[in-house]
Amino acid sequence: MQSNNSMQPTPSVDSKYSQADDNGISEFDHTATRMPMLKPALSLFIALAIILGLCYPLLMTGVAQVIMPSKANGSLIERNGNLVGSTLIGQRFDQPEYLWTRPSAAGDGYDAAQSSGSNLGPLNPELVNNVAAQIQKLKGADPQNTSPIPLDLVTMSGSGLDPHISPAAAQWQVNRVARIRGINSEQVQKVVDDNTEGRQFGWFGEPRVNVLAVNLALDELSGIK
């Protein structure tokens, strides 16, 4: 009796070549199937790149320039043909006749290319020292003012470029500005009120005062160009 192994047929040489040919044909078929799909995929990629990467941005830029050119160009403010700033970017004001904005940790201060917060935790001694220094600066500029100093005048914003302060922070500075400029506090307060923005849609955010807008209006009121 022969074993099971001896009873199994041995593949012939021709069958081996046949299997090899079948494998080769199968791989060729897959390649041939993929090649026709490459052209429409590449065409679709190019078309979408042109539409979404070029046409759409140009269209939106054109629409923005027509509908809201000031906002589209960065909400820039010019006086007498000179660019003085943007309503969206805070800047340094140290003179006592101006409203002061929040302290800044952006670069050397109010550097739009290095927007950043101080990243100091509430238990960090450096934060305590910075706040104490700012308090001394504010009291030194207006020693007659014994009212509590609003928090946003002694702390830095997350961006370091906040162009706004709270109405309370503006109110705290009204008497100093009026005294230095030689005008009534009511006049300064009116300028502050005129440049106070309410909550967005009457619901979101908090009322805020644009510091640059107030200071420019104060210069106009005092006849400074």
CB 91 within 8 A of CB 212: yes
| Nearest Cα residue to 127 out of 138, 137, 117 | 117
Nearest-angstrom CA–CA distance, 57 and 74? 17
- 3-state percent helix, strand, coil for the chain, nearest multiple of 5: 55, 10, 35
Q: What's the pLDDT at 9? A: 53
For position 114, what pLDDT does the model report?
87
Cα separation of 78 and 205, whole Å?
A: 28
Report if pTM > 0.85: no
Phi-psi bin for 49: left (phi > 0), alpha (psi -120 to 50), beta?
A: alpha
Q: Which pLDDT value is given to residue 69?
A: 84
DSSP string, 190-218: HHHHHTEE--BTTTBS--EEEHHHHHHHH
Helix (H, G, I), strand (E, B) or coil at 78: strand
Q: Residue 127 half-sphere exposure, CB side, CA atoms within 13 Å?
A: 11
**Sequential pLDDT tens for the chain (225 residues):** 444 554 555 555 455 445 545 555 555 555 656 667 788 889 999 999 999 999 999 999 999 988 988 888 888 888 887 888 888 888 999 899 999 999 998 888 888 888 888 888 888 999 999 999 999 999 999 999 999 999 999 999 888 899 999 999 999 999 999 999 999 999 999 999 999 998 888 788 889 999 999 999 999 887 765
**What gap in Å lies between CA 179 and CA 196, rounded to an integer?**
21
Instruction: Give me the pLDDT at residue 34, please.
Output: 64
pLDDT at 193: 94
Residue 121 has a pLDDT of 87
